[in-house]
Chains A and B, each alone.
Chain A
Amino acid sequence: MPKDLIGSVMVVGGGIAGMQSALDLADSGYYVYLVEKGPSIGGAMSQLDKTFPTNDCAM
């Protein structure tokens, strides 16, 4: 392993995209810093009511 290679990733933004990236990376053996400016993750998707096609609650 090259000495200066760092096995961690910073993900900026905790919406659905940031969360999915963070999960994939963590599950693949990389340390993740998920940075979100609000008090909780979820982003715009958590404000939606239901989503197509299943009408599942967006939560």
Chain B
Amino acid sequence: MQALSFDEIAGLISAKYAPEMVAPSQGSLVVGGEHLLEVASYLRGTPELDFDYLISVTAVDYRGHFEIVYHLTSLQHSHSLVLKVRCPQDKPVMPSVVSLWRGADLQEREVFDLMGVSFAGHPNLKRLFLWDGFKGYPLRKDYSSGT
């Protein structure tokens, strides 16, 4: 029942994973896309970390690459963590974390719908808000509605 500060969490992570897999940067952990599931299950399954509650999943288009942002918290220890994962614009595929946190289900579909990042392993990945046949992904920076 002890809340860890960000530095302590980052210390635990750096002790376990190589810096090219996970690196702390400005109050958040930057994770390589291919290691996301491994790191996430460590964060969720380790008793002293116990990140059991996924607050939010979203994506940012940084013109050139996407950054998927996960906000995690632990109900028991009440500490929280931000995970950031980069993924290239030409191959926007990410592993899905639905198997760890069901709460990601609708949010990953939302990212897929509006930002065009697909999540491998998602059980029902299809458009959430927009209709079938809508062209483009509106939240991308190069999207223009043509009006």
Q: Do A and B bind each other?
A: no
Residue numbers of A with Cβ under 8 A of B are: none
List B residues at the A interface (Cβ < 8 Å): none
